[in-house]
């Protein structure tokens, strides 16, 4: 689900006002946007050092330099905030006046399968709804139109399809999906007539590949919006060949640190009213680490939040779409493989299975054969058997009972050359057998 309907029900007028502002501000002159960003940064930093215990300790020594940092739009002197810090100091990161902002608690598993808990307030929910509504607008969607979803949703009762009449959405399972099911997926899509198909790149790639293999060449999606994983070049080429539709992509996190999405010209724009996005050079390569400071969450502001994702900035461009945002070339991080099951399904984005296993500090899935996977686990201080029970249930819900799951406890999981822990390691060749090391 791209946005939560309960937010709209609670704050319809505020969401419409926020959306109207975003519709106008995307075309602001850079000088006007810079002034607005500076005002929001000052609001966030001043609030943090006055009301958040963690920032009283870590940012107060820099407070006299805030005006200069804000004027230069450069927070590089301030310490970064990592997921590990949030897990270890969660209560210190909550504002002492948080109740006035009507907060709720949510979780994210991230691309490494490590659960992290966050607090989000009403303003954050309003801003998120409005911002994602605009992302959909860029892809040609208008609120209440029908759209199809091929991401991480698990239909109730173990089925393959579920209609959400509230959102006018057709959910297509990516967990219980086989090649022989493709004609039925196409039939459902044709009958539903969505204006947009939202999907993980890996799921859309499998769907498009199977359309090609089955000789189904007369289905064309009106538009495809990918999210949640890195959109790769060979996937884009296949989508163009098989689906023959406009392609859009967006990058975001549950913790709402940074939002980046493509326009109809294919340019990745940084949504600068959403947060203050920084791109920190990676000494090991040419890419830049994505770091975000939230503008809309005073209950638990995240300042210089290290997303663990990388971007390739490329050369600055003045996009022909007319929007005056900063641009990047592409998102580099978030490449995930899929698990191949014994009954022929291809299942990706399994990090969602780890959300409620809060005692797991780090994890990695390894597949060496189609009938078994190994899950390597680094235990955290609160780890218990309940974490394994919850994880085992969620994994088998997605993969079925014919695959063997082995849990291995390790002291650490080595990071790759890009500094990230690869969540999914597949040692299968293209036919589902051993041979391809990823």
pTM of the model: 0.84
Q: How many CB atoms lie within 10 A of CB 288?
A: 18
Of the candidate CATH numbers 3.40.220, 2.60.40, 3.40.1350, 3.30.70, the domain formed by 140-245 belongs to: 3.40.220
Q: Where in the chain is the domain with CATH 3.40.220?
A: 140-245
Average pLDDT over residues 355-372: 89
281 is written with which tokens? 């050079």
H or E segment and range at residue 293: strand 288-294
Whether 335 has a pLDDT exceeding 80, the answer reads: no
Q: Cα(56)–Cα(184) distance, rounded to whole angstroms?
A: 57
Q: What pLDDT score was predicted for residue 109?
A: 58
DSSP string, 162-214: EEETTTTEEEE-SSS--GGGHHHHHHHHHHH--SEEEE-HHHHHHHHHHHHHT
Q: Where in the chain is the domain with CATH 3.30.300.30?
A: 339-426
Q: What is the pLDDT of residues 253-284, one digit of tens each?
A: 989 999 999 999 999 999 999 999 999 998 76
DSSP one-letter code for 342:
T
Count of positions (residues) in the chain: 438
292 is written with which tokens? 């975000």
Q: Where in the chain is the domain with CATH 3.40.50.12780?
A: 5-136+251-331
Q: What is the pLDDT of residues 136-146, one digit of tens each?
A: 999 999 988 99
Q: What pLDDT score was predicted for residue 155?
A: 84
Burial of 78-95, coded b for 16+ CB within 10 Å and e otherwise, reads: beebebebbbeebeebbb
Q: What is the largest CA-CA distance in the chain?
A: 66
318 is written with which tokens? 């003045």
Q: Cα(429)–Cα(435) distance, rounded to whole angstroms?
A: 5
Q: What pLDDT score was predicted for residue 334?
A: 62
Q: What pLDDT score was predicted for residue 336?
A: 58
Q: In the chain, pLDDT over 90 holds for what percent of residues?
A: 68
Question: Who has greater pLDDT, 339 or 176?
Answer: 339
H or E segment and range at residue 138: helix 122-138
Q: What is the pLDDT of residues 293-308, one digit of tens each?
A: 999 999 999 999 999 8
Q: What are phi and psi of 127, to 5 degrees?
A: -65, -40
Does residue 89 come out as left (phi exceeding 0), alpha (psi in the -120 to 50 range) or beta?
A: alpha
H or E segment and range at residue 357: none
Whether 115 has a pLDDT exceeding 60, the answer reads: yes
Average pLDDT over residues 228-253: 92
Q: Cα(389)–Cα(384) distance, rounded to whole angstroms?
A: 9
pLDDT band at residue 361 under the 50/70/90 scheme: confident
Whether 381 has a pLDDT exceeding 90, the answer reads: no
pLDDT band at residue 114 under the 50/70/90 scheme: low
159 is written with which tokens? 């089925």
Q: What is the pLDDT of residues 395-438, one digit of tens each?
A: 999 999 999 999 999 998 886 655 556 788 888 865 444 433 32
DSSP one-letter code for 230:
P
With tokens 């007369």, the residue in question is: 218
The CATH superfamily of 5-136+251-331 is: ANL, N-terminal domain (3.40.50.12780)
CA geometry: angle 14, 16, 19, nearest 5 deg: 110
CATH architecture label of 339-426:
2-Layer Sandwich (3.30)
């Amino acid at each position: 689900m791209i946005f939560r309907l309960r937010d709209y029900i609670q704050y319809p007028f505020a969401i419409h006002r926020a959306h109207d502002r975003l519709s106008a501000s995307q075309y602001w002159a850079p000088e006007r946007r810079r002034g607005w960003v500076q005002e929001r940064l000052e609001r966030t930093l001043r609030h943090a050092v006055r009301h958040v215990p963690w920032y009283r300790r870590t940012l107060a020594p820099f407070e006299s330099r805030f005006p200069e940092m804000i004027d230069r739009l450069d927070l590089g002197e301030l310490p970064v905030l990592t997921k590990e810090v949030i897990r270890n100091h969660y209560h210190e990161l909550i504002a002492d006046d948080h109740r006035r902002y009507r907060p709720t608690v949510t979780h994210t598993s991230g691309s490494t399968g490590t659960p992290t808990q966050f607090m989000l307030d009403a303003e954050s929910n309003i801003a998120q709804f409005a911002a994602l509504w605009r992302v959909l607008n860029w892809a040609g969607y208008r609120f209440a139109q029908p759209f199809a979803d091929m991401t991480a949703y698990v239909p109730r009762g173990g089925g393959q399809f579920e209609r959400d009449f509230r959102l006018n959405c057709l959910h297509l399972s990516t967990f219980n999906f086989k090649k022989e099911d493709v004609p039925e997926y196409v039939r459902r899509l044709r009958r539903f007539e969505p204006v947009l198909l939202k999907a993980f790149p890996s799921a859309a790639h499998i769907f498009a590949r199977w359309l090609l293999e089955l000789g189904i060449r007369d289905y064309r999606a009106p538009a495809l919006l990918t999210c949640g994983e890195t959109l790769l070049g060979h996937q884009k080429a296949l989508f163009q060949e098989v689906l023959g539709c406009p392609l859009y992509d967006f990058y975001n996190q549950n913790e709402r640190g940074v939002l980046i999405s493509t326009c109809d010209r294919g340019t990745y724009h940084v949504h600068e009213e959403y947060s203050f996005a920084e791109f920190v050079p990676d000494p090991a390569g040419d890419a830049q680490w994505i770091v975000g400071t939230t503008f809309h969450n005073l209950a638990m502001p995240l300042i210089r939040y290290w997303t663990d994702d990388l971007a390739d900035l490329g050369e600055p461009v003045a996009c022909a779409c007319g929007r005056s945002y900063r641009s990047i070339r592409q998102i580099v991080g978030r490449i995930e493989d899929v698990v191949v099951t014994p009954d022929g399904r291809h299942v990706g984005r399994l990090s969602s299975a780890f959300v409620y296993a809060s005692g797991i500090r780090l994890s990695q899935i390894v597949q060496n054969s189609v009938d078994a996977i190994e899950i390597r686990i680094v235990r955290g201080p609160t780890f218990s058997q309940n974490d394994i029970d919850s994880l085992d249930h969620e994994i088998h819900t997605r993969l079925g009972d014919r695959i063997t799951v082995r849990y291995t406890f390790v002291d650490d999981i080595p990071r790759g050359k890009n500094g990230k822990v690869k969540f999914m390691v597949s040692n299968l060749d293209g036919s589902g057998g051993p041979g391809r090391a990823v």
